[in-house]
Structure 1
Amino acid sequence: MPAKSKDSRPGGRSARVRAAVHQATVDLVQEIGTEKVTIPAVARRAGVNPSSVYRRWGTTTALLADVAAHRQDEGAPKLLGDLRKDLEQAALWTLTDLSRPGGVAFFRAEIAPDVDERRAGLRECLERVSTRFHAALEAAARRGEATPPLEQVLDHVVAPLYFRVVFSIPETDEDYARGLVTQLYNRG
């Protein structure tokens, strides 16, 4: 019988260690800021040996990227059955995800060149963000509603949100996110 990899045990020690390390990372980012998070501090908080964290993730940036990739779907909104409301919810969730403590740092780590040599992280990040909006578009199409192309939603809703949050542009709030969806509707 072939040996299982350490990641193939969804309920095993590996999964528990990963969950503890992820939670420790999020907690430390919220408490002290991303720039002060270190692997030894995360290991201490998670109750694991630092060598385990170094072996699995290698760098703090790689750890932050892994946390970002796995926390994207936490609290994702349920579809309401109305495209405009569903797009607004997805926009608000995107804004909340980016704006929470460490949100931009997690995003930057996920697409950092030293972690993302083949640009897979960037593609995965785009895919996850797109999925949020694509689900609303598909559901609306099944209901017979006219829907804009996903690319148009990405260009007119998602891109401005990321741009404004990443560059800390003031007044990027829920009203702004809703307004992007309204502008998308007014274009069509």
Structure 2
Amino acid sequence: MSREMMRQGGRSARIQREVHAATRALLEEMDRGSVTVPMIAERAGVTPSTIYRRWGDLSQLLADVAVERLRPISDPDDTGSTTGDIEAFVLQYAEEMSSPVGRALLRDVIANGEDISCPSKCCRYTSDHLETISARAVTRGEPPLDVPELVDRLIAPICYHILFADRDVSPDYCRTLLDAVDLASPVAARAAG
């Protein structure tokens, strides 16, 4: 996430909050390509060197801001069934990520190919949600879900099509992905492919 280790709380946390807020505000006010580190620094009340020291460059700062915006604020919906939970999660994920804001956030997260910490955090958020759904399945007496397999078969194709804009990730498309996954058995889900 950052080039230097940031202390939790205190001045470092305040600076991070202010820089993130300034970045978000500028991105809402103007085209992304017009936003610069000096503009963000001025809005946040810090020097540009503070931003460069903590984030390295603009793309890394944008990725960090995007990751923070993508951080889940609640657990996935509990519909009462594992199939319902997965469907609700996948449909909501596709809708949010395919929105103009979601597309921009995904692109920001992966823009700096040298540092994989931001994409790794986003992947972790998604996996954590799927793990929560899997834990619910076990509580219901169902087999645990193969989370890496679900990421490969549901989330990866959705992200691919969003990033390359070659297909609409409509609810109908998402349901075709869901239909190809047998949630009743992790082994069956692997074999179905």
Check 1:56–1:96 CA distance in 2 against 1; reply closer, same or farther (3 A cut). Answer: farther
Distance 2:5 2:144 in 1: 43
The equivalent position to 2:26 in structure 1, one of 25, 28, 39, is 28
Which residue of structure 2 aligns with residue 143 of structure 1? Answer: 140
**1:62 correspondence with 2:67:** no
Task: Tell me the CA shift for residue 61 of structure 1.
Answer: 0.7
**Stretch deviating more after TM superposition (18-27 or 72-81):** 72-81
Task: Tell me the CA shift for residue 49 of structure 1.
Answer: 2.8
Number of residues paired by the alignment? 181
Distance 2:173 2:74 in 1: 19
TM-score by length of 2: 0.75
Task: Tell me the CA shift for residue 179 of structure 1.
Answer: 4.4
The equivalent position to 1:163 in structure 2, one of 152, 160, 168, is 160
Which residue of structure 1 aligns with residue 81 of structure 2? Answer: 82
Q: Deviations over 1:13-56 (max 9, x none)?
A: 22122112112222333332333321122223333332322221
Check 1:74–1:22 CA distance in 2 against 1; reply closer, same or farther (3 A cut). Answer: farther
Check 1:108–1:175 CA distance in 2 against 1; reply closer, same or farther (3 A cut). Answer: same
> Equivalent residues in 2 for 1:110-125 (5 A)?
110-113=109-112, 115-116=114-115, 119-125=116-122
Check 1:175–1:91 CA distance in 2 against 1; reply closer, same or farther (3 A cut). Answer: same
Which residue of structure 1 aligns with residue 106 of structure 2? Answer: 107
| Unmatched tracts of structure 1, length 5 or more | none
Please tell me the residue identity of whatever aligns with 2:25.
D
Please tell me the residue identity of whatever aligns with 1:98.
M
Task: Tell me the CA shift for residue 137 of structure 1.
Answer: 1.4
TM-score by length of 1: 0.76
Question: Root-mean-square deviation (CA), in Å?
Answer: 2.9
| Unmatched tracts of structure 2, length 5 or more | none
Task: Tell me the CA shift for residue 174 of structure 1.
Answer: 4.0
**Stretch deviating more after TM superposition (50-59 or 23-32):** 23-32
**1:172 correspondence with 2:181:** no
Check 1:46–1:181 CA distance in 2 against 1; reply closer, same or farther (3 A cut). Answer: farther
